[in-house]
Chains A and B, each alone.
Chain A
Amino acid sequence: MADEILRVENLHVNVEGTPILKGVNLTINRGEIHAIMGRNGAGKSTLANVVMGHPAYEITQGSIFYQGQPLEELAVFERARAGMFLSFQYPASIPGVQVGTFLKKSVSSVRENPPKGREFRKELTAAMEQLSMDKSFLSRYVNDGFSGGEKKRLEILQMLLLQPNLALLDETDSGLDIDALRIVAQGINQVAQDSACLIITHYQRLLDLVKPDFVHAMIDGVIIRTGGPELALRLEDQGYDWLDVTA
């Protein structure tokens, strides 16, 4: 039987009174990689943010279940501690807070048996080497003055260390050059083996490296078509007009 991680049922979401999601249904099981593609403003990032509990989003109808439990009652930090992870499209910078300090606190908060001292440093070093990140990252302030690519690498580094059950990746491929994309994809594939993964992207190039089991096309707050990897190829080739009955 499939190990259900995330189930979204008829989800309607408003942002500042404006309806963004208008009835989204989605189920992701452990070991599955799902990709959502859609035009700008279709609601892709809203879905990721509302699943993670961002306070700016108001659920007006429908439900979200994580491992069979309704999510509404869980605060953001409780969702993270339960194994949910969002790689932000635009991660916040926090001047004065060193990356190393932040990672240690985060891992201690999220993982049930967090590695201590030397064990943590060993794990951190291995993950940073995998992502071709220099050790000097650790003394820099979180995302402060980082390039787009550096921010995305830091997001993936966190994902590797936090070992989530559910990874939501919001345009993690944007701002990455080809070499960085390959490195980041390797990290995603590693985490995706034992978790559920939802990738939000505009481009096929990430999906060449991280093979999705399901591809969803979202238009105007609704998933209007679901298919396999071939759907992503067709969207890349033909755009969204052929799907959009209202266009």
Chain B
Amino acid sequence: MNYLQMEIPPRSEHLWRYTPWPRIHPSSIDEVPNADTVVFTLKQNDSFEIIEQPKDAHDEIARAFLQSAGGTTNRLVINGDSEPLHINARASGHIAIGHLDLDVRGSAVVFVHISGEPEWVGVHITGKVHPNAQLSFGFINELDSNTKFLRCEDWVVERDAELEHATLSVGGFRCKSDLRSTLNGTGASIRQSVTVNAVGPRHDDEHVEIHHRYGHTNSDLVMNSACSGSSHFIGTGLLTIAENANKSDASQVFRNLLLSEKARAEAIPELEVLADDVSAAHGAASAPVDKNQMHYLMSRGLSPEESQALIVNGFLLNAFSNLTNKHLIEEMRTRLTVHLECELKR
């Protein structure tokens, strides 16, 4: 559907409750502004296939908007096993939009590092993990602290395929992510982690949907946020298990660490389970730093500031504990640690 013909979603919708569409749209909601292109470059020699986007392919407003405003799609096909691929997504200009599509038929590790200083950035990533393939995917948001950021992702994980998906969100002023995965065949699995460091007035809204369409599928989502200053983090999850998807196993855990009185965090996992024979668990917790942990570290000579920084570091790193690919874990850990060390020096 064309974006301009779509109705603005009401705030009563789960997805738009905390960051309504008008708050994340780059200008006036009844227009599609001109946009520059987010430039995707590969550190390796591989190159992207540039393809035209299908018209009016989306009935979801954010995706339809990105399609209307953005240009072509950068497509990367990965056959066989590959070394970790680092994709640098550079945003510039006033408004920048990019589209990336990954087609994975072997075993791959892919990182997308997004950076830049536009007022507004939008990215739509799509991907398919073919039967029996494995993808470990890391997304690192290091945008400027004044940038508004809209990110949509759509993944299809086919029979006996595995997707490991990690997000590190430390950039941007107001961020809205809508990450959707469909387990589209028996034996498909996804392990997903989202780590958010919300500082200052940052607003970060991360929505993760995982859909079990077939039985014997597994999903595991961990979302950890640390909120300081007057920041606001929202983590919402939607887990669906289809009527015939028996023997599915799903888990969602949301944890928020509140580091100041003004910081706010919402953690809202939602389940729609239509099958009878499944295992589905979810949990959510928001709390300040544990006093016993602080006391323990201070009794070992660390100052209160050092103690809190170490606890926050560990808490955020722990979101990656459900991942298994060593390249993915190492890169995400390194990026987070470097970010937190820079934060500490500010």
Contacts and interface: CB of A to CB of B under 8 A. Distances in A.
Interface of A: 52-55, 75-77, 79-81, 85-86, 88, 91-92, 94-97, 101-102, 105-106, 109-110, 141-142, 158, 162
A92 B301 contact: no
A141 B314 contact: yes
A91 B296 CA distance: 7
Given A95-B314, A96-B317, A97-B311, A106 B301 contact: yes
Contact of A77 (B301, B315, B321): B301
Given A80-B299, A94-B310, 11 more contacts: A75-B304, A77-B298, A80-B298, A80-B301, A91-B296, A95-B318, A95-B321, A96-B315, A96-B317, A97-B310, A105-B302
Interface of B: 290-293, 295-304, 306-307, 310-311, 313-318, 321
Given A94-B314, A96-B316, A102-B310, A81 B301 contact: yes
A96 B300 contact: no
A88 B297 CA distance: 12
A86 B310 contact: no
Contacts of B306: 105, 109
Contact of B314 (A85, A96, A106): A96
A97 B300 contact: no
16 contacts: A55-B295, A75-B298, A75-B304, A76-B298, A80-B298, A91-B296, A92-B293, A94-B297, A94-B311, A95-B315, A95-B321, A96-B313, A96-B317, A96-B321, A110-B300, A162-B300
Contact of B303 (A77, A92, A94, A142): A77
A97 B298 CA distance: 14
A85 to B, nearest CB: 8
Contacts of B297: 94, 102, 106
B302 A97 contact: no
B301 A94 contact: no
A102 B301 CA distance: 11
A96 B303 CA distance: 19
Most buried by B among A76, A101, A105, A162: A76
A92 B292 contact: yes
Contacts of B296: 88, 91-92, 94
A235 to B, nearest CB: 29
Contacts of B302: 77, 105-106, 109
Nearest to A141: B314
What 6 pairs between A and B have smallest CB-CB spacing?
A: A96-B314, A109-B301, A96-B318, A97-B314, A110-B301, A80-B301
A217 B290 CA distance: 34
A77 B295 CA distance: 9
A106 B293 contact: no
Contact of B310 (A54, A80, A105, A162): A105
A109 to B, nearest CB: 3
A92 B295 contact: yes
A102 B296 CA distance: 11
B300 A158 contact: yes
A76 B299 contact: yes
A77 B298 CA distance: 5
Contact of A109 (B292, B293, B300): B300
Contact of B295 (A76, A95, A102, A106): A76
Contacts of A91: 296
A101 B313 CA distance: 11
Contacts of B314: 94-97, 141-142
B318 to A, nearest CB: 4
Contacts of B315: 95-96
B302 to A, nearest CB: 5
A109 B297 CA distance: 11
A76 B315 CA distance: 23
Contacts of A101: 310
Most buried by A among B298, B299, B310, B318: B299
A141 B320 CA distance: 13
A101 B317 CA distance: 13
Nearest to B318: A96
Contacts of A53: 299
Contacts of A88: 296, 299
B219 to A, nearest CB: 22
A94 B70 CA distance: 45
A106 B313 contact: no
A84 B33 CA distance: 64
A95 B295 CA distance: 15
Nearest to A91: B296
A102 to B, nearest CB: 7
Contacts of B300: 80, 102, 106, 109-110, 158, 162
Nearest to B305: A77
Most buried by A among B291, B301, B317: B301
Contacts of A86: 299
A101 B306 CA distance: 13
A46 to B, nearest CB: 14
A86 B301 CA distance: 11
